């Protein structure tokens, strides 16, 4: 094994990158800021997609697909949204290449194939979708529209990091239309709950549900709800957002509906999304210096069986037992890989699956077989146990549940231990540097103070937690009165 | 019901478009040549994806994801491929918009944000993928690579038609790398078989497997295999292609591997794809003047239950029975929708589900209930039968199988009836106009003759069928000797 992960204590950022690359999750591409998602990484993303897609459908949503391109005139219709994303837009200006007359075998952009109107590569799809909804919605009978799409989007980021911030990324974006404000707000919160449910029960990642301040709102939203998670280095990661868009897009695109009383009104909107960023969240929630750790519910392979043997005869005997165990585990809906490649030694395979985060590894040797036992290693604790083959499926089914809940508990304890109340700005700044985490502090409620704190400390208000305790205090920065603490952190 | 489908005898092209739009499959968008895939259409596409994805995985493939953009210098590396697609490329030239100083609220492309190198929006991904494979492949141990990706691609077509030819479309593209020519050719043919299997057993669409002539080959391929299907108007539709790429991309991107003997050689490649074009194939294979007809295996909803009742009490009684039937059908893995909306009358619902192609409709009335019967209508034959409720799940499970095989048989008979041998060019031309279909005719094997026939008749050689009968004859155009018939048609 030549693959080595930089210890996170030494260089957290390098540790993260090493895991992404060495565990075959993703890699940089020839295109600035764009990544290649490799098969092992993509398989985890597929598990996330499947779980989320089922949750969306169980809450009444259907999928559809809207164009990749947005004509500039549509893109600019909702001004705040357009302004918020304008600086990050990849723009298609031409629709043809031609051979370079001065350079054989090379191509140039054909100047005669200039588009009359430039096309923006979608950074988010509100504009093109609401322009479409206009044709779908006439009366209250056409509402609600509960649509989601799985798609790629492009935001031209200057500083990119694999999964966390890439120029192109994959995501889902829900776009719903409602007859009343109340129903739209209910939808916004419902989808936030779906995201929190997914984060906690699939990603094994505890999250804080909250609402963003005006400064941190999605461009074009009246309110942005979010889930925030704490990574191992004490920085926050926004893991999902759900926006109440009010009537902003309906007004920009003139989308009205006739109510039961025949009166025309603008439609109410929400949008909500999570992205391949969640892959970064998964890595930074659970992984260690040996590599990736995947929560069993999102592992493409939950159990790997590695044979330990001498000669063909030995392999044959071991394989028979291994395949029997594999079948018994599969009958319990456990995904199993039996790795009987003869091109690599067992020690190499152990290290490889550890690096790739496979939750459970079974080593099956000839001697074990004689004793009716196998060696079972769990990835999260790096511990091993010898168990009876006869009991394998019960033991391992239980073990996978244990690993899932252990990962969650560990992350929850880490998050709690690194969530602190702070009373003064000096303490706040010291804490950010020395004990980074979620910081609960009083704030005077003004964008100006928020901006100053951000400038001086790089910390932002991650959210105002839902059901926040009301408590009189004074702003750590301005000393002005405050009625509640908000949650600060430095963030990804 | 105000939705009316133009009869296909009157205007086939309008009939097709009416079905796509009125059955809520897709619609035109604000972006030239790009479509919106609506929920009903997308749900069918999801069924196709799931079936194909399983077939790919069962044949050892894994999914990954590569960038949307291809730097121009990479795109032009494989010259034939580049030349073949250059005329259809959407090109990103800038990465930022800014507010228009002369026009409040409007945006312009920021001239200072011009990319150093233009980015091509992928029309196909060989270039970016082989540039990546270069870093993945060192030795024979790294081979084969069996990767697929589900993605959107853009080809700037001048004449577009919903699903059949759109500027942006969704597809899957497999890209494999092999140590030997034989293995790559085997893979190419294997995936052609997978496509044919899918077309016949899921789409209920008979296909001819064959190989393209040099003129019709994929740009950059040594050989292109294809499946061709015959639509109801006698025109052919290429439903899937599988390319043997030789070492062309390996040479363009310098991808070599060390064999077991340590010798370096270029890697052998294949690529293969099917797209949302299959949605057009589905429509034109089975639909009628009442609307869409979906093969049961691809229907998002296989059975719809419509209650016929008077008053709340009536609905309550009928609903109890309907929900019981629904449960019993679901237990047999049949997807069922119970439509108890009170905003629409039963007759409206009948027409709606007929238009949308739902394979089986159950009408359940109070009187039926008293008799212990239901009325079952099958979409393909538009026939109805009254059956015993007690026998519902067996009857309907069998009925769905019948519909699936009936659709296939009907399409097969139509294809056979419209496949004809022709001996002279005069007969060939008359046939194209009067009895369009697949035409088997002798051809002298030259690109020149093929080109002339295309110019004069708009018919192309769809393929040279696999396992083609060898038979001496003379070319219908040039009179030169020929050893086999090839398959001509006008095509989509």
CATH of the domain at B448: 3.30.110.30
Identify whether residues A247 and A353 lie together within a single domain. no
Chain-chain contact of B98 with A86 (C-beta, under 8 angstroms): yes
Bridging pattern class, strands B419-421 and B438-442: parallel
Is residue A77, in this structure, part of any structural domain at all?
A: no
Is residue B212, in this structure, part of any structural domain at all?
A: yes
Is residue B165, in this structure, part of any structural domain at all?
A: yes
Q: At A31, is the pLDDT very low, low, confident or very high (cuts 50, 70, 90)?
A: very high
* Residue numbers in A near B147 (CB within 8 A): 39
Identify whether residues A145 and A266 lie together within a single domain. yes
**Structure confidence at residue A34 (pLDDT):** 97
Q: Copy the structure tokens of residue A350.
A: 């152990």
Is residue A83, in this structure, part of any structural domain at all?
A: no
Chain-chain contact of B64 with A38 (C-beta, under 8 angstroms): yes
pLDDT tens string B66-84: 999 999 999 999 999 999 9
Cβ neighbours, 10 Å, residue B484: 16
Query: How many domains are there within chain A?
Result: 3
Q: What is the DSSP letter of A225?
A: E
Chain B contact present for A109, CB below 8 A = yes
pLDDT tens string A70-87: 999 999 999 999 999 999
Lowest-confidence segment of B233-237, B342-346, B362-366 by average pLDDT: B342-346
CA distance A269 to A184: 6
Identify whether residues B165 and B81 lie together within a single domain. yes
Identify whether residues A401 and A432 lie together within a single domain. no
Collect all residues with Cβ–Cβ distance below 8 Å to B117 and sequence separation of at least 6: B71, B72, B73
Identify whether residues B433 and B410 lie together within a single domain. no
Chain B contact present for A93, CB below 8 A = yes
- Average pLDDT (A349-372) is 95
Does the pLDDT of residue B191 top 80, yes or no? yes
**Structure confidence at residue A343 (pLDDT):** 84
Identify whether residues B402 and B431 lie together within a single domain. no
Identify whether residues A423 and A318 lie together within a single domain. no
**Structure confidence at residue B2 (pLDDT):** 56
For B:54-73, CB contacts with A below 8 A are 62-72
Is residue B354, in this structure, part of any structural domain at all?
A: yes
Identify whether residues B303 and B323 lie together within a single domain. yes
For B:349-408, CB contacts with A below 8 A are none
Is residue B11, in this structure, part of any structural domain at all?
A: no
Q: Which candidate from B46, B68, B69 shows the least CB-CB separation from A63?
A: B46
CA distance B75 to A98: 12
Cβ neighbours, 10 Å, residue A214: 13
Q: Which of B236, B252, B286 is the last residue of a domain?
A: B286
CA distance B114 to B122: 19
What is the three-class DSSP state of B63? Answer: strand
Nearest CA to CA, how far is A428 from chain B (Å)? 37
For residues A134 and A256, the answer to whether their CB atoms sit within 8 Å is: no
Q: Please give, one letter per residue, the 3-state secondary structure of B107-172.
A: EEECHHHEEEEEEEECCCCHHHHHHHHHHHCCEHHHCCEEEEEEEEEECCCCCCECCCECCEEEEE
Does the pLDDT of residue A69 top 70, yes or no? yes
Q: Which of B286, B312, B329 is the last residue of a domain?
A: B286
Alpha carbon of B96 to those of A82, A86, A121, A167, A335: distances in Å? 12, 6, 11, 12, 45
CA distance B380 to B354: 10
Q: At A3, is the pLDDT very low, low, confident or very high (cuts 50, 70, 90)?
A: confident
**Structure confidence at residue A1 (pLDDT):** 47
Among residues of chain B, what percentage have pLDDT more than 90? 97
Distance, C-alpha B216 to centroid of its chain: 18
Collect all residues with Cβ–Cβ distance below 8 Å to A376 and sequence separation of at least 6: A360, A361, A362, A384, A385, A386, A387, A395, A396, A399
Q: Which of B369, B398, B414 is the last residue of a domain?
A: B414
**Structure confidence at residue A2 (pLDDT):** 55
Element (H, E) at B81: helix B79-85
Chain B contact present for A335, CB below 8 A = no
Chain-chain contact of A79 with B105 (C-beta, under 8 angstroms): yes
Q: At B343, is the pLDDT very low, low, confident or very high (cuts 50, 70, 90)?
A: confident
Chain B contact present for A50, CB below 8 A = no
What is the three-class DSSP state of A427? Answer: helix
Identify whether residues B154 and B259 lie together within a single domain. yes
Does the pLDDT of residue A372 top 60, yes or no? yes
Chain B contact present for A143, CB below 8 A = no
Q: Which of B277, B338, B328 minimizes the C-alpha distance to B303? A: B338
pLDDT tens string B376-403: 999 999 999 999 999 999 999 999 999 9
Average per-residue pLDDT in chain B? 97
pLDDT tens string B422-469: 999 999 999 999 999 999 999 999 999 999 999 999 999 999 999 899
For residues B192 and B243, the answer to whether their CB atoms sit within 8 Å is: no
Q: At B1, is the pLDDT very low, low, confident or very high (cuts 50, 70, 90)?
A: very low
Is residue B175, in this structure, part of any structural domain at all?
A: yes
CATH number for the domain that contains residue B319: 3.40.50.800
Q: Copy the structure tokens of residue B368.
A: 């039926």
Identify whether residues A153 and A45 lie together within a single domain. yes
pLDDT tens string A76-118: 999 999 999 999 999 999 999 999 999 988 999 999 999 999 9
Identify whether residues B261 and B326 lie together within a single domain. no
Identify whether residues A187 and A241 lie together within a single domain. yes
Q: How many CA atoms, within 13 angstroms, populate the side-chain half-sphere of residue B469? A: 9
**Structure confidence at residue B374 (pLDDT):** 96
For residues B243 and B270, the answer to whether their CB atoms sit within 8 Å is: yes
Q: Copy the structure tokens of residue B214.
A: 């040099």
CATH number for the domain that contains residue B127: 3.30.930.10
Does the pLDDT of residue B199 top 90, yes or no? yes
pLDDT tens string B19-32: 999 999 999 999 99
Q: Which domain covers residue B165, as residue numbers?
A: 31-89+119-286
Number of A–B residue contacts, CB under 8 Å: 195
Is residue B189, in this structure, part of any structural domain at all?
A: yes
For residues A406 and A399, the answer to whether their CB atoms sit within 8 Å is: no
Q: At B3, is the pLDDT very low, low, confident or very high (cuts 50, 70, 90)?
A: confident
Task: Give me the phi and psi of B460, to 5 degrees please.
Answer: -125, 160
Chain A contact present for B42, CB below 8 A = yes
Q: Which of A250, A249, A224 minimizes the C-alpha distance to A238? A: A224
């Amino acid at each position: 094994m030549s693959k080595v992960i930089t210890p996170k204590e030494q260089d957290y950022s390098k540790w993260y990158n090493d895991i992404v690359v060495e565990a075959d999750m993703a890699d940089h591409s020839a295109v600035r800021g764009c990544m290649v998602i490799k098969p092992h990484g993509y398989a985890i993303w597929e598990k996330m997609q499947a779980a989320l897609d089922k949750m969306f459908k169980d809450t009444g949503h259907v999928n559809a697909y809207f164009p990749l391109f947005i004509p500039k005139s549509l893109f600019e219709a909702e001004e705040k949204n357009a302004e918020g994303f304008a600086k990050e837009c990849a723009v298609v200006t031409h629709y043809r290449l031609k051979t370079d007359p001065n350079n054989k075998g090379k191509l140039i952009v054909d100047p005669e194939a200039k588009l009359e109107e430039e096309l923006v590569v979608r950074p988010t799809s509100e504009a093109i979708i609401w322009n479409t909804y206009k044709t779908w919605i006439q009366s209250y009978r056409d509402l609600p529209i509960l649509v989601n799409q799985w798609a790629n989007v492009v935001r031209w980021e200057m500083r990119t990091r694999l999964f966390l911030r890439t120029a192109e990324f994959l995501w889902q974006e829900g776009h719903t239309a409602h007859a009343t404000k109340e129903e739209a707000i209910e939808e916004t919160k419902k989808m936030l709950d779906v995201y929190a449910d997914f984060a906690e029960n699939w990603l094994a990642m505890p999250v804080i549900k909250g609402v963003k301040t005006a400064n941190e709102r999605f461009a074009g939203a009246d309110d942005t709800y979010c889930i925030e998670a704490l990574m191992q280095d004490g920085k926050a990661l926004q893991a999902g957002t759900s926006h109440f868009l009010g009537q902003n897009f309906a007004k920009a695109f003139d989308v009205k509906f006739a109510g039961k009383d025949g009166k025309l009104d603008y439609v109410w909107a929400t949008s909500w999304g999570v992205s391949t960023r969640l892959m970064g969240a998964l890595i930074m929630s659970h992984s260690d210096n040996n590599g990736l750790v995947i929560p069993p519910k999102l592992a493409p392979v939950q159990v790997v069986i590695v044979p330990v043997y001498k000669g063909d005869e030995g392999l044959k005997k071991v394989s028979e037992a291994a395949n029997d165990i594999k079948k018994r585990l599969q009958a319990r809906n456990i995904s199993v890989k039996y790795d009987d490649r003869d091109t690599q030694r067992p020690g190499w395979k152990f290290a490889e699956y550890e690096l790739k985060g496979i939750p459970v590894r079974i080593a099956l040797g000839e001697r074990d077989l004689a004793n009716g036992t196998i060696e079972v290693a769990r990835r999260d604790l790096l511990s091993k146990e010898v168990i009876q083959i006869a009991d394998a499926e019960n033991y391992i089914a239980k073990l996978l549940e244990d690993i899932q809940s252990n990962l969650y508990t560990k992350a929850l304890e880490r998050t709690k231990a690194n969530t602190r109340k702070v009373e003064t700005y000096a303490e706040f700044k010291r804490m950010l540097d020395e004990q980074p985490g979620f910081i609960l502090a009083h704030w005077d409620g003004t964008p100006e103070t928020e901006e100053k704190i951000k400038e001086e400390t790089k910390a932002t208000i991650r959210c105002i937690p839902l059901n926040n305790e009301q408590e009189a205090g004074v702003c750590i920065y301005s000393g002005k009165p405050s009625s509640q603490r908000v949650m600060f952190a430095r963030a990804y």
